[in-house]
Amino acid sequence: MSTLSPRLLLAAYEISFRERLVVPPERAEDPEALAEAITNLPPKAAGLLELLRLVTPVGEPLPERLRAAIDRDGGPLWAAALLLPRPGQIAIEIHPQHYAAACRLNPTIAQLPRRVPILQTAFVPTLPPTDARWDATVIAAHLETTPVLLNQDGTLRRDHERRLATVFGGDAERASLALRVARLLGIVRGTRDRLLGMPEATQRAMHDPRPLFERADLRAADIVLRTIQDTRNSGAVDARAWLEQLQASPELLNTPADPLGWERGEGLVLRRVLDSLHRLGAIDAMRDAEGVSAFRAATGVSVPTTGFLLMPDLDLLVHPGEISIAAYGRLCRLAPYVDGAGLHRHRLTREGAAGEVGAGHTDTLEFLAANSRTGVPSNVADTLREWQRAASRVTVLMGLDVIESIDGTLRVRVGPPPADARTFDYAQPLRARFCMEGSNITVPDGWDALTVRATVARVARLIGHERGMWVYQPEVRTHADPDRMVASLNEAYGGLIPGELEVLIRAGSGLPAITAEPAWVLCLPDGIAAALRRDPTLAPFLRRPTSANEVVVRQADLEAIRARLAQLGVALSMDTEAT
């Protein structure tokens, strides 16, 4: 972008165009002069100016898609110094309209208020039909119990999209927005080929909602957010008047032309984005039967938490905001969502109680009592205790002998072991080890205790069994504690494991790249090599010897070395042909 000031740019215009300027060069950075010029613009040019201010931050390059509109209606904007060229270098005799494809708005315009219709009546915020952040928690809880498959490119399969919509009674748009929000908040994540939900995970802060939108919806979101930023201190925007004002700008979003006009094209996109931003909490809004009727920047006022209603029939009724979002994530696991928009209905289930136990919670009744406005009915408490006892009943068998089949399956031994069985006493230190043959890991028969094979299997893939040994091929994998994994393998190897295996283990957690830098080999003369290494100035540079008389030095240090050698009366001869 050109850094030339508007005054210098206008002064470089060709004489015939400077004579047509409404704002002279010396006043090109005067807000009062520009404001006066704006009030005198013809209607089409004024509408184009508002469009340009909507779609692009002041001073940034204007979109190429608006070039035709600038060519058609932008003449008065050039004459009023509101549009400026972006030449690549200082030029003389500029004809600005030749820069319609490379122009920007005068940065001084940023100081002037925009022509946005402000609501003239009292603004009374209304709650959205649904809260997308709470819907995202519902989706995360659903995906925790029933993960879905992903395509190879990480996208969701169409049949699974339709199934997720059934969570909200078939409302595909609500489910789609909830899933996008859940991914942005980090409570739904893709892992290899599956989409998993983590309703209790700490949610990321959503500072900018724009990553949730695509294509025309993203442009519409930019326009809405820029509008509320420009009117933050002026009041709420009258949505109907604002949409009517934008209807005169057919290039607003550059959406495909719709035969039914604005209502099915850009107007529909803008209303849909306003609705989504309200559900996200990014804006405060007033609503009526047609959708958002007025909006402003979100004030950040939160609804005080009061708790949910727990019924004797195991149903719960909760309104978004009545409990913390972290508690709601746990509630969605314990009592899966049933239905509801503004008011959510959940129901306690046996599977939910088992999920509580699986997640490590032992205070389910205390959690319900702390968040329920109606307490915990006695029949509900008895039912939950029974479900949790059934879910947590575990049988532990001690002192068993097991037999491993050739296919790897284990079974409890009954009677004496087979005559040719190799036995391992896991109560004693194991006689077990592995070896490296070429690039493969081998575990010989007789040394193949389950513990050593299980350790090797965490860093390598089993290829097969041949020549009386198990053969594994090492792979790059991610390890939670690489140091501990290396220590375990050193113990099973009986010493330090080969370097290539340790590098593969540590590479899974990410290693810094090895860097290379230009260097020279200095051949020091016999007799003074040791003396040069003791010189206090040269010593730091000569710390990388390759032999008694040769040392590697960085190319960046050559000049300092040359200067010091010259002080000592030693010349430095460069073998340029070897470079």
The sheet that has 440-444: what strands, in order across it? 435-437, 440-444, 469-474, 460-466
Q: Note the pLDDT of residue 577.
A: 46
Instruction: Tell me whether residue 271 is in a domain.
Output: yes
Average pLDDT, the chain: 84
Q: Note the pLDDT of residue 432.
A: 67
Question: Do 105 and 11 fall into the same domain?
Answer: yes
Given a cut of 60, is residue 342 above it in pLDDT?
yes
CA 256 to chain centre: 30
Instruction: Tell me whether residue 401 is in a domain.
Output: no
Question: Do 94 and 28 fall into the same domain?
Answer: yes
Beta-bridged to residue 436, according to DSSP, are 441
Q: Note the pLDDT of residue 254.
A: 62
Closest CA to 433 of 448, 423, 454: 448
Q: Note the pLDDT of residue 273.
A: 92
Percent of the chain with pLDDT over 70: 91
Mean pLDDT of 82-108: 75
- Among the candidates 361, 392, 423, a domain finishes at 392
Mean pLDDT of 425-451: 77
Mean pLDDT of 555-569: 88
Q: Note the pLDDT of residue 304.
A: 59
Instruction: Tell me whether residue 62 is in a domain.
Output: yes
Given a cut of 90, is residue 571 above it in pLDDT?
no
Residue 170 binned pLDDT confidence (cut-offs 50, 70, 90): confident
Q: In CATH, what number is assigned to the domain containing residue 240? A: 1.10.10.10
Given a cut of 80, is residue 59 above it in pLDDT?
no
Q: Note the pLDDT of residue 393.
A: 57
Residue 91 binned pLDDT confidence (cut-offs 50, 70, 90): low
- Among the candidates 171, 197, 223, a domain finishes at 197
Given a cut of 80, is residue 542 above it in pLDDT?
yes
Question: Do 323 and 350 fall into the same domain?
Answer: yes
pLDDT one-digit tens code per residue, 303-337: 556 889 999 999 999 988 888 888 999 999 999 99
Residue 407 binned pLDDT confidence (cut-offs 50, 70, 90): low
Question: Do 187 and 246 fall into the same domain?
Answer: no
Instruction: Tell me whether residue 397 is in a domain.
Output: no
Question: Do 472 and 428 fall into the same domain?
Answer: yes
Beta-bridged to residue 466, according to DSSP, are 469
Instruction: Tell me whether residue 145 is in a domain.
Output: yes
Identify whether the C-beta of residue 208 lies closer than 8 Å to the C-beta of residue 281. no
Cα gap 185→203, rounded to integer Å? 5
Q: Note the pLDDT of residue 292.
A: 93
Residue span of the structural domain in which 414 resides: 406-507
Q: Note the pLDDT of residue 1.
A: 42
Q: Among 218-227, 231-240, 409-418, whose mean pLDDT is lowest?
A: 409-418
Tokens representing residue 9 in the block:
């740019």
Question: Do 100 and 46 fall into the same domain?
Answer: yes
Residue 289 binned pLDDT confidence (cut-offs 50, 70, 90): confident
Residue 578 binned pLDDT confidence (cut-offs 50, 70, 90): very low
Residue 142 binned pLDDT confidence (cut-offs 50, 70, 90): very high
Q: Note the pLDDT of residue 206.
A: 81
Tokens representing residue 260 in the block:
């039914």
Instruction: Tell me whether residue 535 is in a domain.
Output: yes
What is the total count of domains within the chain?
Answer: 6
Q: Note the pLDDT of residue 136.
A: 92
Given a cut of 60, is residue 576 above it in pLDDT?
no
Closest CA to 542 of 516, 526, 560: 560
Select the more confidently predicted residue: 101 or 495: 495
Count of residues in the chain? 579
Closest CA to 497 of 522, 474, 468, 521: 474
Tokens representing residue 564 in the block:
């010091």
Mean pLDDT of 114-128: 87
Burial zone of 165 (CB within 10 Å; 0-12 exposed, 13-18 middle, 19+ buried): middle
Mean pLDDT of 370-393: 87
Given a cut of 50, is residue 399 above it in pLDDT?
yes
Question: Do 342 and 384 fall into the same domain?
Answer: yes
Residue 392 binned pLDDT confidence (cut-offs 50, 70, 90): low
Tell me the angle at which helices 266-280 and 132-145 cross, rounded to the nearest 10 degrees: 80
Tokens 């000031």 found at: 5
Could you give the 3-state DSSP secondary structure of residue 217?
A: helix
Question: Do 258 and 340 fall into the same domain?
Answer: no
- Among the candidates 458, 473, 507, a domain finishes at 507
Q: Note the pLDDT of residue 380.
A: 92
Burial zone of 314 (CB within 10 Å; 0-12 exposed, 13-18 middle, 19+ buried): middle
Instruction: Tell me whether residue 203 is in a domain.
Output: no
Residue 426 binned pLDDT confidence (cut-offs 50, 70, 90): low
Could you give the 3-state DSSP secondary structure of residue 194?
A: strand
Q: Note the pLDDT of residue 256.
A: 57
Tokens 């590697």 found at: 552
Question: Do 25 and 103 fall into the same domain?
Answer: yes
pLDDT one-digit tens code per residue, 449-477: 777 888 888 889 988 888 888 899 998 88
Residue 344 has a CB neighbour count (10 Å cut-off) of 25
Instruction: Tell me whether residue 490 is in a domain.
Output: yes
Q: Note the pLDDT of residue 260.
A: 56
Residue 579 binned pLDDT confidence (cut-offs 50, 70, 90): very low
Question: Do 141 and 236 fall into the same domain?
Answer: no
Question: Do 416 and 502 fall into the same domain?
Answer: yes
Q: Note the pLDDT of residue 251.
A: 64
Q: Note the pLDDT of residue 242.
A: 87
Question: Do 216 and 273 fall into the same domain?
Answer: yes
Mean pLDDT of 13-37: 87
Percent of the chain with pLDDT over 90: 16
